[in-house]
Structure 1
């Protein structure tokens, strides 16, 4: 990796990064994020209000994001073509700082699906598919949650699979699967009827027996297209099975990595809300002076800035430990729990200081405020993550 960026460059790029965590990035990494910032500001941000209100995704932004080669930017990879964990984290931060749906859409490919193939697939599967995943030539989604099972999915997963010769037959249903309508394949988790263990399969979206419908009437992540999926006697070859996923313990190993992605998204969403609120209060005049000049406003802005800073500190250190090979359920659970709790307070304060205009899409704050609720819940609710941490603290599991 190249030399680290200067403190001045990092501070100018991330004004909400008060302790300068972005100074840990290399110059090529910050350059790649700068290119992303340009696309987000010029081609994505102007569309957000309209598409959020319509409950549709602006698919025209997909190709500009793909063209940036964000999963392997030039000069920002090691000798094996890998990016650093901090760069990946700040990439999620940057996306979410603009919009949580955009971050979720991109992370469905770069985080959820890519991690599932890299860690769940055989070395041969990973080597064959990862270049195609990085280029978006081969797209996929993570299909674990079910209509009746979310927090209890480990023991409650009902989607079933059984082997018939060289094929597998899958029956079941999945819910809340973001990005499914445009994915090439669905990474479907199903319980093997032969041994009762969870397995994973790459199911082409247009396979006979696969049907899906859009989840409507959402008040959060309205742009993200979530699907209800039914699988009826869906047949896939044994080569479609990800051979390193043979129990829910293997799925849990994926979740340790994926929760840190969501914690970074929670940080970015906070930063976006805080920066939007700060801009508004500096510009808005009341009682003959700017809102930002009032003591109560400054106290709320200070709390928001502190929340972003504390959350960044947690995810940066978590990422550094994971780069060292330290992956623990309780670590990622604590980060997801804390950053999302801070996020909820931050977006509420942002909406408060913007006043009545904070419920319109014009200031961006309302979008962050609403979208935070989905981020708060997905990849493990607050309570489940607290219990995962509590089990590690006490040695006693409070849930099964």
Structure 2
């Protein structure tokens, strides 16, 4: 008896992810969580997907999607807050769903819901959190994580050169930040700078409109073209002491943020695999060559199986990592392993998707080309492969192999 895609996806009408979630990780979600995610999917399918190819090609972000996305109230949906904050598994699948549609949309949303929210949760004092967190959740205070610099990416721990000098009840910041996604639409920048007095890293919420702050769009990108990344210059920018994040007093505090943030990127890398795999599967089942469906060829089926294997392994990895973090277990090597391995799987999966789609895989018609190009940015940000491998190696051997 011939097995069809419909057979493989039995129950897909009642499940969100069907064949992409081969081991049914979705079963870990509650009914309420699935309803919220279904609402997100409806919006993405109806309003977002038709716009993506055009905006990607122009290198512009579809700003008309931001307010509707915010109004979906995905960070702490009303349906889920009756029994407490949204669970990590739900939050992971929220990222997965966004990335399954588009990497730039996922990156834009997690810049607020992941990076900036984590910055406030980890770095702000209880009083600051009480003031700022409600505004973070409803996007009335939009912020971005501003750590990377023009000359320091992987070596930011030792190479961070933006300076902070205290003068009375305020601080003066000088330096530059680069590759800061979403800065052009943010209200504040979470800027990390080295205190001139003690050499330790501090963090500040800097008003984007403050004197001395200038933002320049980074153009000429071949990956994450929709995402607006900025080069930021800080020239004698004054920041009140009240806007310093009081729980950030060394790079160890920054590392605690990165430990949590990398799991978000692993979910993005996993969701992108689902998007590329689904697009490729749909294409090969419709496209005919030599009088047959492409999906009927042995070599194509082998590539589909490898893609699904990569995706299933990645989804299993991020689900388990999230379960660990929900128990309060946050280790550098755990998030580093997830980011490293899901990114490796993602790179192979999107390449295989582009391969089975053939010449049409380099056009924007199927979505495969977007995933293929955007994967290169996700592969590098929030820790390159090599940096994450060294974090894992240090945990395994007790020896640091980082260059000093």
TM range (shorter): over 0.9
Q: Out of 352, 357, 376, which is 1:354 matched to?
A: 357
Residue 77 of structure 1 and its aligned partner are, at CA, apart by 2.8
Tell me how large the CA RMSD over aligned residues is: 1.2
| Cα distance per residue 1:324-357 (max 9 Å; x no partner) | 0100000000000000000000000000000000
For 1:210, the equivalent position in structure 2 comes to: 213
Residue 7 of structure 1 and its aligned partner are, at CA, apart by 7.7
Q: Out of 370, 373, 378, which is 1:375 matched to?
A: 378
Alignment of 1:143 with 2:128, yes or no, is: no
TM superposition outliers: structure 1 runs of 4+ over 3 Å? 6-14
Alignment of 1:60 with 2:64, yes or no, is: yes
For 1:227, the equivalent position in structure 2 comes to: 230
Q: Out of 46, 49, 53, which is 1:45 matched to?
A: 49
Q: Out of 108, 113, 116, which is 2:111 matched to?
A: 108
For 1:28, the equivalent position in structure 2 comes to: 32
- SS across alignment from 2:222: coil
Q: Out of 84, 89, 93, which is 1:86 matched to?
A: 89
CA distance in 2, matches of 1:77, 1:387: 39
- Structure 2 unaligned regions, length at least 5: 1-9
CA distance in 1, matches of 2:132, 2:25: 33
| Cα distance per residue 1:143-189 (max 9 Å; x no partner) | 00000000000000000001100000000000000000110000000
Matches within 5 A, 1:271-286: 271-286=274-289
TM-score of the pair, normalised by structure 2:
0.96
For 1:385, the equivalent position in structure 2 comes to: 388
Give the conservation status (yes or no) of the 8 Å contact 1:77–1:84.
Answer: no
Structure 1, 238-247 or 118-127: larger mean CA deviation: 118-127
Give the conservation status (yes or no) of the 8 Å contact 2:22–2:312.
Answer: yes
For 1:124, the equivalent position in structure 2 comes to: 127
Cα 1:318–1:9 change in 2 (3 A) is farther
CA distance in 1, matches of 2:82, 2:268: 24
Give the conservation status (yes or no) of the 8 Å contact 2:48–2:65.
Answer: yes
Residue 9 of structure 1 and its aligned partner are, at CA, apart by 6.3
Cα 1:8–1:269 change in 2 (3 A) is closer
Alignment size in residue pairs: 394
CA distance in 2, matches of 1:312, 1:131: 31
- Structure 1 unaligned regions, length at least 5: 1-5
